[in-house]
Amino acid sequence: MDREPRRRKRSWAELTILSRRELLAAVAGVGLGLASAPAHAAPARIQFHVLPQTYAEALLDVAQQANITLIGAGACTGRSGLGLQGPYTVEQALERLLAGAPCRWRLIAPGAVEISPLPEAPAPRLSPPVSVAELLVTATKRVRNARELAVAVTAVPRNDLRASGASDAADAAGQLAGVLATNLGPGRNKLLLRGLADGAYTGRARSIVATYLDDIPINYNAPDPDLRLVDVDRVEVARGPQGALYGAGSLGGVYRIVARRPNLSAIQAEVRATGALTRSGTPSGAVEGYANYPVFEDRLGLRLSAYQEIQGGYLDDISQDRENVDRTDRRGARLIVLYQPDDNWSVSLTAAGQHLRSRDTHYTSPGLGLKRSVRIPEPHVNDITLLTTTVKRSWGWGELIASGGYIRHAYSSLYDATATQDLYTSFARTSAYSERNRTRMLVQDVYLASRGAGPFQWLGGLYGSDTRIHAPTEFLAQIPNLPNFHVYGDTRRDHVREIAAYGEASWMFAPGWTVALGGRAFHIDTRTRSAVVAERFPPRDFDRNASTTGLSPKLSIQWEPGSGHLIYAVASEGYRPGGLNSGGAVPLPEGRETFRPDRIVNYEIGAKTRALEGRLALSAAVFYADWEDIQTDQFRPSGIAYTTNAGDAHILGVESELSYRGPYGLTLQLNGRLARTRTSNPNRDFTNNLVHALPGAPSTSAGALVSWEREIRDDWRLNLLGQVNYVGASHVSFDAAAPRTGGYIRSKVSAELVGDRYAVQVFLLNPFDSLNDTFAFGNPFNPNQIRQITPLRPRTLGVTVSAAF
């Protein structure tokens, strides 16, 4: 990356890459090649190498070498004595491997195979012991067993999300080591991985966690869209910088939602309904469901999911004389159409959208309990709409995947700005600050990856995106019985264009030893235009450009001393481009009109192991991260946001995850993270009192989930679950004088009866009715730093019922 002169000697590499026109032409050429390729080709033959082992482990090897999704490998018990060696189609490989096995396979969608027991050998009512290791992930753009990757990857499958009642990213975070979410409110939160945080507020700086729905990024610099986890196959998290494969905005890692694909051979449907009562609050409720329909069996199918939810409010505003002001409504839908003309081609089209609206903010002041005092309502809206397509073409030696999408992400917030209105006007009783952001992204990602067994594996791709952001802000003076009076405004537009070429190659140079090298060459252009008008100051226009070019490398080495055991070391990099500031009635000094790119280099040593015949799985990693020129969104004394570089930070941490599936239906999951952060080189234009920590990132976090499952009748089973998560204390900003937040516990217990078609779950949130502060921030127009806190939702009792058809 281009950096300041004093930093240049610390950069890993720089290079000149293709012009935008050349690279986009290459991407277009790949797309034309896909369109002109012949259909109805014979099924591809893949070179397989599968050793004799348990059927479950052998099936995982087949899925990885063929780059296909596998569902239910644990349903196949016993051991394969033959193994598999040579070129076969996927169908031939499965038939040969499972000959005489107590299970059968079924292709339910292109590149997706489901394993089920034979009718004479019914599936065990309790989850099989090997299930702790049978989940495959695609966080590295290829189907892989997470326990065989030199990356800290964790996935939460659909059944675990359902059992724990996780409905969004904040709920799922408790089951993942090092994953946190701020608690400003639904649709306002920021995801944090490994304690890497750049501040409490979401402004112009690009997000530090790349959020994906399937193969397409859905967020640029907005708060997390808070997509409800309805009809998803799993949630994947890759921790640590992922710049080589995912590019800018993945400094902390990648959070990926994988939706369930249409089943091309069966009609399916399910409906779920939830109702809940909160102490001192209004009721909550949700209805969700999906329907799957194969239009032409094994060729064309569609899957529709939809939901509507109400999160009842529980805060009363004494100034406005309003009760339960913080209600949130969320509704959305997703349609996936899947077409498979033959065994080597598939085309999927996804249309999805969500509307989220909170009627007011969720913060209050210490000592007020569940009451607050704010002069005007502070609503928030977060809407997202997307249309994506993915085309796959398979050969025996490789697979080409071309994904493209259009994403429209719009959010808006209104804040009580009365405390700072004297800076803008003398004619107002109250004032409001309005911020709106509408982001439109066009994304194209095309890559080719190897298939089959062999010591050498590779992946190469091209990426291009065009992002346009319209972000007007207004300061509105409010006079009784008159319309709001505009006293300040900044009409800002950003145009960001990014192109990149990336790749990764791995080589098994000795039995059990693999080395991998990857990198991403990128160029990012940003143009910012702005028109500022204010009642007390002369208008001004702003039109500037910034660009960033560089290389983001990755190097890893891993050793597998035996089946189920892995030791690895990896060095990786993440980055964000620089940018420009435009807002404020009074312009910033020239030196603060721009902010530099930031860059993080991560060094990591990790281990993954299994024991007790697969019932115990443990992973742990020690990491050291060097973060230079940390970008952060901050506030001027007037409350207007701007972006600056806070300084540098060095983070030393350790994280671990443990899963144990014992006898009698007992399951235990534990995760934890410890980190020590030291900051240096503070930006003197920002603060001289830089805290030795990252804001909103506690040094300690941990979680535990215990469940017990028991069959109570031939077609019913009982599942009891308890979950506890601890989030340690942290500062709310980079200023050492800022208040501290955190040091709280989230907890939940539930009991569920599950049958073949029906299920009933009773759950209790926050059973001890704690009101601890989860986030000491709410309104930036708070010049006197009046303490603000966001309490936990009070004790909530709920019931969920579901029916499948």
Q: What is the pLDDT of residues 619-628, one digit of tens each?
A: 999 999 999 9
Choice among 19-33, 453-467, 635-649 with the minimum mean pLDDT = 19-33
Residue-wise pLDDT for 378-394, tens only, equals 999 999 999 999 999 99
Residue 164 has pLDDT above 80, yes or no: yes
Choice among 68-82, 141-155, 330-344 with the minimum mean pLDDT = 68-82
Helix (H) or strand (E) holding 36: helix 20-36
Choice among 77-91, 127-141, 295-309 with the minimum mean pLDDT = 127-141
**Where is pLDDT greater, at 599 or 139?**
599
According to CATH, the topology of domain 221-231+236-804 is Maltoporin; Chain A (2.40.170)
What is the pLDDT at residue 41? 65
Going by pLDDT thresholds of 50, 70 and 90, the confidence category of residue 118 is confident
Contacts of residue 426, Cβ cutoff 8 Å, sequence gap at least 6: none
Residue 752 has pLDDT above 60, yes or no: yes
Residue 496 has pLDDT above 80, yes or no: yes
Residue 398 has pLDDT above 50, yes or no: yes
Report phi then psi at 679, rounded to 5: -100, 160
Q: Hey, is 379 helix, strand or coil? A: coil
Which residue in 409, 353, 356 sits closest to 381, CA to CA? Answer: 356
What is the pLDDT at residue 271? 97
Q: In the structure encoding, which two tokens stand for residue 578, read together? A: 């620089």
Q: Is residue 117 within 8 Å of residue 103, measured between CB atoms?
A: yes
What is the pLDDT at residue 459? 96
- One-letter amino acid identity for 396? G
What is the pLDDT at residue 425? 87
CA 511, CA 517: separation in Å to the nearest integer?
18
CA 274, CA 288: separation in Å to the nearest integer?
9
DSSP state string for 565-577 = EEEEEEEEEEEE-
What is the pLDDT at residue 213? 94
- One-letter amino acid identity for 147? R
Residue 666 has pLDDT above 60, yes or no: yes
Q: What is the mean pLDDT of residues 164-192?
A: 85
Q: What is the mean pLDDT of residues 461-466?
A: 97
Q: Hey, is 591 helix, strand or coil? A: helix
Going by pLDDT thresholds of 50, 70 and 90, the confidence category of residue 662 is confident
- One-letter amino acid identity for 370? L
Residue 592 has pLDDT above 90, yes or no: no
What is the pLDDT at residue 40? 55
Going by pLDDT thresholds of 50, 70 and 90, the confidence category of residue 110 is confident
CB burial string 389-420: b at 16+ within 10 A, e below: bbbbbbebebbbbbbbbebebbbbbbbbbbbb
Mean pLDDT in the chain?
88
Residue 679 DSSP label: E
- One-letter amino acid identity for 761? Q
Residue 130 has pLDDT above 50, yes or no: no
**Where is pLDDT greater, at 590 or 303?**
303
Q: What is the mean pLDDT of residues 688-712?
A: 88
CA 330, CA 683: separation in Å to the nearest integer?
40
Residue 645 has pLDDT above 50, yes or no: yes
Choice among 193-207, 315-329, 593-607, 787-801 with the minimum mean pLDDT = 193-207
Residue-wise pLDDT for 16-70, tens only, equals 333 444 434 444 444 444 444 444 567 889 999 998 888 888 888 899 999 988 8
Which residues of 511-615 form beta strands (DSSP E)? 513-534, 540-562, 565-576, 579-580, 594-595, 598-611
CA 158, CA 173: separation in Å to the nearest integer?
14
Q: Is residue 232 within 8 Å of residue 258, measured between CB atoms?
A: yes
Q: In the structure encoding, which two tokens stand for residue 654, read together? A: 């350790």
Choice among 309-313, 316-320, 351-355, 362-366 with the minimum mean pLDDT = 362-366
Q: In the structure encoding, which two tokens stand for residue 352, read together? A: 């999805």
Residue-wise pLDDT for 257-281, tens only, equals 999 999 999 999 999 999 999 999 9
Cβ atoms within 10 Å of 632's Cβ, excluding its own: 25
What is the pLDDT at residue 195? 84
Q: What is the mean pLDDT of residues 328-339?
A: 97
Q: In the structure encoding, which two tokens stand for residue 758, read together? A: 């029906």
Residue-wise pLDDT for 559-588, tens only, equals 999 878 999 999 999 999 999 998 888 888
What is the pLDDT at residue 129? 41
